[in-house]
Structure 1
Amino acid sequence: MLAVLPLLLLLPALGVFAVPAIRSAATVTNLTPAQISSFAPYTQFARAAYCNPLIVQGWQCGDACDAVPGFTATLTGGDGDTVQYYYVGYWSTQNTVVVAHQGTDPTQLVADLTDVDILMANPDPTLFPGLSSSIEVHQGFADEHAKTATTILAEVKRLLSQYGASSVTLVGHSLGGALAELDTLYMKLNLPSSVSIHAFTYGTPRVGNDAWAAYFDSQITDFKRINNEKDIVPIVPGRFLGFLHPAGEIHIVSADDVVACPGEDDATDAQCTIKTVPNIAEGDLLNHLGPYEGIYIGTVFCT
């Protein structure tokens, strides 16, 4: 990874790659303590996704599960290796079906996502019907998502019917956040329009190109991607490689200073991630683990 850093930092300055345009003129807003604390249950859902499915199935995964009472996990899967852990269940408190995906080793993730040979591809049309051919996503993320997509969708449909739920909530951290982002649009395209879609992701890398971000924003109205301080994962893969985040950034500047950033990938405001972490050499990978509202996320925090 270190060998490619000088090249990655130099390429944008040389104009080798075009940086996608940003479509927003809004301003940063500070979140209230109540708004910040409202994210905590979703953070715990993301944390629980790192736990072995055997203990998630009975919602006995320790502090993360204890923090969100009223949730019943009905489907768990993955092996934490070839297929990331995931779970689906019903949260009676909010009358919503929840889908959560496990993340991965952030060191390995950053190494993979700073490769200048990263491949993009059109999303599978059988999973994402009706998309323009201009929309492209990270091939590896798309392949990982496809492994569980239809199984998860079937369980979501079953729970919506069984409980008369009115919404689906997608969560994930790191690679799990990328899978949750893909799942968010996947659910929107494959569920009735009467079902509302909500998503909360943490430390998520960029998933797709400019056309992906624009279409995602046109379809999804409640998406929050939460970044912690100087976490470097949200700035990879680079915008100069054609990747762009959709709107919805929430940046934890410090413990009690949290802001909502405008646009799809705010590169203007000093309080937002790109200005805080202009390149990976100036970031802090430990911030990837948290704390998010005082909560750490990762395999070692599944207790």
Structure 2
Amino acid sequence: MRQPFVAFVTLAIASVLAVPSPVVKRATTVEPVSAATESALTIYAQFARAAYCEVTNTWSCGAACNAISGFKVQAYGGDGDAVPRWYVGYWPAKKTAVVSHEGTDPTQFLSLLNDAEAEFTTLSSTLFPGLSSSIQVHDGFATAQAASATAVLAAVKQIFSAQGISSVTLTGHSLGSAIASIDAVYLKLNLPSSTTFKTVIHGTPRVGNQAFANYIDATFSDFTRITHNLDPIAIVPGRFLGYHHASGEDHIESDNSWEHCDGQDNTSTLCSTGAVPNILEGNIVDHLGPYNGIWYVTNSASDMLYALVSLTDPPPFTPTLAICRIGTTFC
């Protein structure tokens, strides 16, 4: 297997030197996100953060769980390794089923996504009945989503039956956000047509091809992906490889101001695609946060973050910020 640093350098060069194929002209217009909208999105970052912790039926994972009172866990799984952690539960305050997926070590994730051999795959006709074969996603994301798909669907159906609801909310960060994007399509095809969907995801890589991005846009009216400053994960895999973002980007600037970016892969410098033209100009720490004051930090990622503290003024985080570090009381 190619070493992470070698993979990173290989694709860094490819990102700089490769000549992109012709693409649809992208939007450049942005508009400020209101303070009320920013505030309302905070709780979805908490749901995504909880997926990094060992959620149980008691909903006692620490700060992330404490921030969401009354939540009732229906099912959970994953081992944090081969299968990312996930959970499904009922959120009485919004009368919705919530599905959340764990992310992964961003240093390894960047190497994976920057692999020039990153392959598309057509989604399983068994899991995605009737979906056009023109819609394709990253092979690794499809595999990760399939690992928990049937268990997630069963849990959502149980909540619908027990609570008499028809609403699903999906969250996730990093790899978890990619899984959540595919989950949205999966659940849409396997739940009653009356089901409503809300998706709020953080630090999302490009998940699929143009047909996938177009399907998301055409199918989901409440789809928000939040990007942070110079996060390089948000611009990989590259557009020159055929990957494209769906619409719905809200971008957080270095001064914590927010901009809503119109269209797919908005090329304004106030949006991730325009702000980070290639991964050499990105900052992997920005992938970790903060999102609404919340950091996503696993053991390996926190080691990296601590190592960078001395290089950053001011430091990228303080102990008072909401950090989730697997295996500690930070969660």
**Fold in common (TM above 0.5):** yes
Per the alignment, residue 257 of structure 1 pairs with 257
Instruction: Work out the CA distance in 1 between the residues paired with 2:28 and 2:252.
Output: 19
Deviation, 1:246, is: 0.6
Per the alignment, residue 235 of structure 1 pairs with 235
Q: Which residue type is aligned with residue 280 of structure 1?
A: I
Instruction: Work out the CA distance in 2 between the residues paired with 1:236 and 1:46.
Output: 21
Contact 2:27–2:266 (CA<8 Å) still a contact in 1?
no
Aligned length: 295
Q: Is residue 10 from structure 1 mapped to residue 13 from structure 2 by the alignment?
A: no
Q: Deviations over 1:181-222 (max 9, x none)?
A: 000111111111211011011001111000111112111111
Instruction: Work out the CA distance in 2 between the residues paired with 1:33 and 1:8.
Output: 35
Contact 2:15–2:279 (CA<8 Å) still a contact in 1?
no
Deviation, 1:280, is: 0.7
Instruction: Work out the CA distance in 2 between the residues paired with 1:241 and 1:26.
Output: 22
Instruction: Work out the CA distance in 2 between the residues paired with 1:62 and 1:98.
Output: 18
Deviation, 1:25, is: 4.9
Q: Which residue type is aligned with residue 158 of structure 2?
A: R
Contact 1:185–1:220 (CA<8 Å) still a contact in 2?
no
Q: Deviations over 1:131-185 (max 9, x none)?
A: 2222111011101111110111011011011111231000000000000000011
User: Which runs of 5 or more structure 1 residues have no equivalent in the other structure?
Assistant: none
Per the alignment, residue 94 of structure 2 pairs with 94
Per the alignment, residue 161 of structure 2 pairs with 161
Instruction: Work out the CA distance in 1 between the residues paired with 2:27 and 2:82.
Output: 42
Give the SS at the match of 2:172: strand
Per the alignment, residue 271 of structure 2 pairs with 272
Per the alignment, residue 82 of structure 1 pairs with 82
| 1:115-130 superposed matches below 5 A | 115-130=115-130
Aligned partner of 1:44 among 46, 51, 56: 46
Instruction: Work out the CA distance in 2 between the residues paired with 1:241 and 1:57.
Output: 42
Per the alignment, residue 288 of structure 1 pairs with 287
Distance 1:232 1:211, change over 3 A: same
Give the SS at the match of 1:146: helix
Instruction: Work out the CA distance in 1 between the residues paired with 2:115 and 2:99.
Output: 30
Deviation, 1:262, is: 0.7
Distance 1:196 1:26, change over 3 A: farther
Identity of aligned residues (%): 47
Aligned partner of 2:37 among 35, 57, 61: 35
Q: What TM-score comes out, normalization by structure 1 length?
A: 0.94
Contact 1:57–1:74 (CA<8 Å) still a contact in 2?
yes
User: Which runs of 5 or more structure 2 residues have no equivalent in the other structure?
Assistant: 1-6, 300-322, 325-330
Deviation, 1:27, is: 2.6
Give the SS at the match of 1:204: coil
Per the alignment, residue 193 of structure 1 pairs with 193
Q: What TM-score comes out, normalization by structure 2 length?
A: 0.86
Contact 1:19–1:241 (CA<8 Å) still a contact in 2?
no
Deviation, 1:2, is: 3.9
Contact 1:99–1:171 (CA<8 Å) still a contact in 2?
yes
Contact 1:20–1:210 (CA<8 Å) still a contact in 2?
no
Per the alignment, residue 104 of structure 2 pairs with 104
Per the alignment, residue 304 of structure 2 pairs with none
Give the SS at the match of 1:208: coil
Q: Deviations over 1:82-141 (max 9, x none)?
A: 110000000000000000000000000000111111110111111112222221110111
Contact 2:8–2:114 (CA<8 Å) still a contact in 1?
no
Give the SS at the match of 2:262: coil
Instruction: Work out the CA distance in 2 between the residues paired with 1:265 and 1:155.
Output: 33
Distance 1:79 1:265, change over 3 A: same
Q: Which residue type is aligned with residue 292 of structure 1?
A: Y
Q: Which residue type is aligned with residue 179 of structure 1?
A: I
Contact 1:19–1:242 (CA<8 Å) still a contact in 2?
no
Distance 1:52 1:282, change over 3 A: same
Instruction: Work out the CA distance in 1 between the residues paired with 2:228 and 2:143.
Output: 27
Contact 1:250–1:259 (CA<8 Å) still a contact in 2?
yes
